[in-house]
Structures are given as structure tokens and as C-alpha cells.
């Protein structure tokens, strides 16, 4: 289920007299519960993973193994939640960090909006930003790489 659809469902529950909504689709199951004046809470259950057969190794015309994407080098800052990535603290503002920015541990790197709450994501290591893995306004998943720090 995509993020826009989830936001629409959350808004529907919070603006109505519905106390609880549960939807099951191919991608999984979503349960939204409203309690008193507290914020809407969401529980997502992904479907059970399917067993996959081992993929054959592809070879280049020379018989050598096909090139494999290189692993990320350096320290990876991952998204701690599902939400929308914002590079700056204000719309249209200057990004908090860019490639080449020196950062300190605890310094704010970006904002992730989740359920209309703005969450600052901080560096968990000092160093230099060598790569920004997402673009402004992009939806991000839990554990998705956001930055590389070296």
C-alpha cells in the first residue's frame, strides 16, 4: 500500500467518528486505531515472504561473471521510519547538508515527516557527507539508506 493511500486513510479516520479501520490487501494488512484525543496509531503487517529459487549467475560474453553493483562504502545513515524526506527545514530552503558537508555527531541532517509530525534525523557519526541517497520530497521506507558519511 503506498504512502499517499495510508495518509488518506489516516485522515479519514481522524476526521470521522470511526474508532478503528482495518484493511487487508495483497501487499499486507493495515490497522488504524483512534483513541480519545491521542494521535492516530497505525500497525502494518507485511505478507509472509515467498520462497525464492536461487537465481542463476549471469555471465558476460567473455565468460566472466557479470558486474555486480558495489556495496556502499562508509557509514550509512538509514531512515528510522516510514515517511517523506525533506532536505531543508523550510519549504524551498537551503538543504541542511550537501555532499562535502562536514557533520558532527548529533547534527541534524534532514527531516522525515511521518503522520504530520516533523522528525529531525541526526548524524550518528561525525565525518563528511559523501553521498545523499534520496531526493527532496521522496517517500522513504524504514531502514532505507539516506546518507553516506566517511
| Tens digits of residue pLDDT in 45-89 | 444 444 444 444 444 555 555 555 455 678 999 999 999 999 998
What does R_g of the chain's alpha carbons equal in angstroms? 20
Q: How far is CA 18 from CA 10, 34, 67, 115, in A?
A: 11, 8, 53, 18
> What is residue 40's predicted lDDT score, i.e. its pLDDT?
45
Range of the domain at 137: 75-149
pLDDT at residue 38 is higher than 60: no
| Tens digits of residue pLDDT in 76-134 | 999 999 999 999 988 888 999 999 999 999 999 999 998 888 899 999 999 999 999 99
Domain total for the chain?
Answer: 2
- The enclosing domain of 82 has a CATH number of 2.40.50.100
Amino acid at each position: 500500500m503506498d504512502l499517499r493511500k495510508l495518509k488518506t486513510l489516516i485522515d479519514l479516520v481522524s476526521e470521522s467518528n470511526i474508532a478503528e479501520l482495518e484493511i487487508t490487501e495483497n501487499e499486507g494488512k493495515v490497522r488504524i486505531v483512534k483513541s480519545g484525543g491521542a494521535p492516530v496509531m497505525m500497525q502494518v503487517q507485511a505478507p509472509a515472504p515467498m520462497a525464492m529459487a536461487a537465481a542463476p549467475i549471469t555471465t558476460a560474453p567473455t565468460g566472466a561473471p557479470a558486474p555486480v553493483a558495489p556495496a556502499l562504502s562508509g557509514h550509512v545513515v538509514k531512515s528510522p521510519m516510514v515517511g517523506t524526506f525533506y532536505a531543508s527545514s523550510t519549504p524551498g530552503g537551503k538543504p541542511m547538508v550537501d555532499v562535502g558537508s562536514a557533520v558532527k555527531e548529533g547534527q541534524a541532517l534532514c527531516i522525515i515527516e511521518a503522520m504530520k509530525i516533523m522528525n529531525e534525523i541526526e548524524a550518528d557519526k561525525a565525518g563528511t557527507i559523501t553521498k545523499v541517497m534520496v531526493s527532496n520530497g521522496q517517500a522513504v521506507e524504514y531502514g532505507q539508506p539516506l546518507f553516506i558519511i566517511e
